[in-house]
Every structure is written in C-alpha cells, then in structure tokens.
Amino acid sequence: MRYACRLVVLNLSGLSGKSSGEDLTLVDSMWWPESYRAMFIRVKKIGPYEYLYLVENAREGGRHVQRVIKALGRRDEVENSDLLDGLIASAARHSRRSIVLSSFYRGELPELRRLSIGPDLVFGRLWQETGCADVLRHLLGERQFGFDVERAIYLTVLHRLMVSGSDRHAHDWHQRLRIPGAEALTLRQAYKAMAWLGETTDDDRPITELIEEAVYRHRQPLFGELSVAFFDTTSLYFEGRGGATLGQRGFSKDFRPQLHQVVLGIVLDGHDRPIASFLWPGNTADVTTLLPVVERLRTRFAISRACVVADRGMISAATIAGLEAQGIDYILGVRERSTAEVRTTVIDDDGVAVPLTILRQKGETDLAIKDVVLGGRRYVLARNPEQARKDAETRTALLAGLERKLTQGDKALVGNAGYRRFLADPAGEGFTIDAAKVEADARYDGLFVLRTNTKLTALQVVLRYRNLLAVEQGFFAAKTLLATRPIFHRTDAAIRGHIFCTFLALVLRKELMDRLAARHLAMPEWQQVVDDLADLSEIEVEQDGRRALLRTAPGSTIDALCRAVGITLPPVFQELPRAATP
C-alpha cells in the first residue's frame, strides 16, 4: 500500500518548561493510507482581496488531486470571525493527541512526573559504542554484588559529565533523570562500585588498568596503532586524608600544599584521545613517572613503536638514558634556566632560525625555530615574538613595583620570589636591583627548548610538542568542567575508582567532540551542551483517567548532537497503557 504524508501544525508555548516569551511551532508528520484525503487552508488573491478556501488533497490513480471543498470567504473577514477557531476546536475534540497537548499548553494538566532524558540519550549511546559497558560487564563476570555495578559506574560517569560533585550528590541527582537500570541504586551501592573499580587483581594490577586496556583494544580497529603518546601529570587534593598510601603532601599544582593529594597522569594519542591514566601518591616526583608509563604502553598496550612527548618536569639524565636504552623516540621539554648546557650554549647558538606560523582558533602564532646539536644531543630551540613581548611587559611591571617597594624598605622583599630574583645581595645599603640579573632574565623571553632523538624536522618536533597542550586541556576539563573534586573517600581503592570515573568521562566527551567534528557540525560550548541535554525531558500527565508522556522542545544544540551520535528523539506524545484493573 502506498502512503501520503499529512502535516499537523500545533502552536505550543512553554512545553519546554521555559518562559521564552515566544510561541514554539511543533510540526509532526503522520503517515496515512493512500486513500486518506488530507485537508488544508489555501490563500488565493483575487483583485485587491485575499480569499480562504478549504481544500482537499488526495492521491488517486498515482497522481495528486486537489479539490475545493468550501470557499470560506475573504481572509480579513474570516480572521476577524470565530469560524476558524470553532473549526479547529471542533476537530481537536476528536484528536487525543491534540487535546492533551493543548490542555497542557493552557496549564490545565499538572506534571505528574518530569525526568531529564537528554544525558542518557546521548551519552548512553556513546557508553555502549566505545565499549565501556561491555568491558565492565565482562570484567565483573560471575561476581555477585546484589546490584548492577556497571549501571552504578555509568551513573557516576554521567554525573561527572553533567554536573559533577560528590557521590552523595550523584545519588540525589539521578532521581531526576531517566537512566535505565539505575532507578533503584543506593548511595552505599555507589560506594561499593567505586571500591571495586579501584581493586587490585591477584597480580597486583588495578582493575582500572584492565578496563583501559580492554577499551583501547575495542576501539583500536577504528584508530590504528598508536604512533605518538602525549603524557603529563597534575595533582588533585583531598578534603580528608586521602587513603592509606595515595594521599600524601607534595608539590601542589593547585597551590594547596597543606592538603594531602595524589598525582594523576594521563596519556593521549596523536588525536588527543585519552587512552591511559596513572595514579601515584602525592609526593611522587614527575621525573620518576615517565619510564613506568612507557613500560606499560609497551607491555600492556602492545605498542612497539611510539614517540613519547612530555613536558619539562619529566626530563632527567636517568629518564633520557632509560628511553634511549629501550629505543624509544622522545620529545621532552627542557628546563632552560637550570640546564647548564642550554643556559650557556644552546640559547646563544648563532644558527639560522626557520619561521613557522601556526594557525589558532583566533589568529596565528609566529615562531622562529632552529636545530642545535651538541655532542650528539639534539635540541630544538623555538622563540615566540608575541610571548617575548608579553614576558618583557610582565618583567617591566614587576620591576616598577620592585622600585616602589625599595623606597618603602626592603624587609618585605625577602619572601617574594618574583622580586628576589632581580635583587643584588645587600652590601651595607640594603637591597638594590641587579641590572645583570635583569639582562640575563631577558634572554629567556618567549623561549622554549626541546630535547629529542627523533628524525623529525625541527618544525615537526615543535608542532608535535605543542599538541601536548591537549593534555593540559584535559586536566582543565577534569578539574573544572568535569570537576573531580571534592574527594571524600577514605580508602585507596575508592579514591582510585572515583578519579577513574573522570577518565571515563573524558573518553566520552572526546568521542562526542570527534563525532561532531567528523560531520563538520558546529562545535558548541560545553556548558550549552550540558544545559540543553539537562533540559530535554519527558513529562507524565493525566487526562480523563488516561496517562501520556510528553517530550519537551529540544534546545539549540540537540539536533547536532543527535546527528553526531546517530539517534532520534522520542515522539512529542506517547500514550501510556492503561493500568491493569484487579
């Protein structure tokens, strides 16, 4: 049987739960048999006036046929009368869907229940397709917890993506969402799920590592073999002691040295996708972390050849010796001021610099790059004129403040590291500004130096190193957009599980951004994505003893998100089955 399409247009206001001040037009398509005769209003201009006609549109004998059923009259006269309103009201009485929607719009039907459906609609699909759900269920195996651990972990990851906060907050938050399988989860069960995530196996390996490696293998056919790995670390502080061994005081990148912390490391591939995470006690030095990371990439991820890119905090003679002994390519940032060879020779090299312009989202970055080789050790020196100008301006402002302080006495200067590096040692008259130190500091304006053993060109080395910014952006997302804190857990296992949920959230977030980019869709602000997904809801209403689900109007980003993920929205109206009578 062939079908024709009829469009039903309703004017709805406020269905989204917002007061926008504008009506929303909902267009819903319904399919009808070929014999069905749809009707519509046609406007026809005759002379100076416009006339309205009720027209029948049918498909007969393989062609469309339109017939005028009734001439309604002049448009201005009809619109000033009650003719159309009465006709529409009369027709609506015979349409259950129209009656419910219209009544809800007029505020005649209270909300019996409202649940946000957007978060699970999008991220639930990504959770399945990235392999996270299958990997967790496989690792759980035959273990009996009395509740669905995979659902508890998914709930925590979803909470981390949308609003974040403590596990206690996640328990309260999920009551307002539709998350299949998570309806009856309790806070105690969430704590047990976090503890399982952080457990260690019989060979003393955390469950989290097994999950990362299995998810990587699940996605590897799509990505190919890893050719470059970007690695960096950050610190996360605790509200309490931070477990038996993980929580330690150390160098805090959050400027909270008085609090216990852990050191978190993340590895990204060449397309900025998170593939592995590492957790160490808070007093672990960065220089000791890189070699264990490389060893795990080689043995657990079966990566035979990859270039490791890391920041200057990772470099040491022992690290470089270890990498070269294993035949690992590396690009490492160098501490320009504290490395004697760089300070005395490399930055003064008189070789020819090659210009490089890097496109950014806003504007361009100009660099001057050159290779410097000393005794078989290869350095790549890059200078950024724009950054050099900013460094000089910062130093000028600091020196101006220092001069004002000197006129007020020099006791307050001793504890200020920014001031102290420009001061000459006191010689009876107190502190003075050391011009030689100011001149020496200017040598480093806009400068960064890399150490590498690769065969890449200097330009390629710099470009690859700049991709390390993606790891820093991942840490920013982990701490702010996907706020991992606060962390209240008391055991190492629960802490490890809590933080690992942020890693899984980063995996899903990156997957969504990649799918949007692959379809050349506009990249929305993350907060707008979160708001639109949270607003997309289903509302249960009741009229005349019959219940129905209504779906709110989608926000501006929802269409792009649905196309990127490959999903369709539920219908605006769904009739719920009548409750069985005893």
Instruction: Write out pLDDT tens, residues 493-513.
Output: 888 888 899 899 989 999 999
CA–chain centroid gap for 570, Å, is 25
| CA torsion through residues 14, 17, 21, 25, sign | negative
Residue at 560: amino acid letter = A
**What is the distance between the alpha carbons of residues 166 and 156, in angstroms, rounded to a whole number?**
9
**What is the distance between the alpha carbons of residues 218 and 222, in angstroms, rounded to a whole number?**
9
* Predicted confidence (pLDDT) per residue in 5-29, tens digit: 333 333 333 333 333 333 333 333 3
Residue 14's pLDDT is: 34
Mean pLDDT computed over 231-258: 73
Window from 261-275, 339-353, 355-369, 375-389 with minimum mean pLDDT = 355-369
Q: Which residues contact 537 (CB under 8 A, 6 or more apart)?
A: 17, 114, 115, 116, 117, 118, 551, 552
Residue 445's pLDDT is: 92
**What is the distance between the alpha carbons of residues 245 and 240, in angstroms, rounded to a whole number?**
13
Question: In this structure, are residues 500 and 194 in contact, taking their beta carbons and an 8 Å threshold?
Answer: no
* Predicted confidence (pLDDT) per residue in 109-158, tens digit: 899 999 999 999 999 999 999 999 999 999 998 788 899 999 999 999 99
Cis status, amide bond into 355, omega within 30 of 0: no
Question: In this structure, are residues 369 and 382 in contact, taking their beta carbons and an 8 Å threshold?
Answer: yes
Mean pLDDT computed over 556-562: 94
Residue 11's pLDDT is: 35
Is residue 415 pLDDT above 70, yes or no?
Answer: no
pLDDT band at 426 (very low <50, low <70, confident <90, very high): low
Q: Which residues contact 19 (CB under 8 A, 6 or more apart)?
A: none
Q: How many CA atoms lie within 13 A of 244 on its CB side?
A: 4
**What is the distance between the alpha carbons of residues 182 and 123, in angstroms, rounded to a whole number?**
15
Question: In this structure, are residues 236 and 499 in contact, taking their beta carbons and an 8 Å threshold?
Answer: yes
Secondary structure percentages of the chain, helix, strand, coil, to 5: 40, 25, 35
* Secondary structure class of 361 (helix, strand, coil): coil
- Range among 160-164, 330-334, 478-482 rated most confident: 330-334
Higher pLDDT, 304 or 28: 304
Question: pTM of the predicted model, to two decimals?
Answer: 0.75
Run of H or E including 189: helix 187-197
Beta bridge partners of 177: 116
Question: In this structure, are residues 41 and 54 in contact, taking their beta carbons and an 8 Å threshold?
Answer: yes
Is residue 469 pLDDT above 70, yes or no?
Answer: yes
Residue 106's pLDDT is: 83
Mean pLDDT computed over 368-384: 91
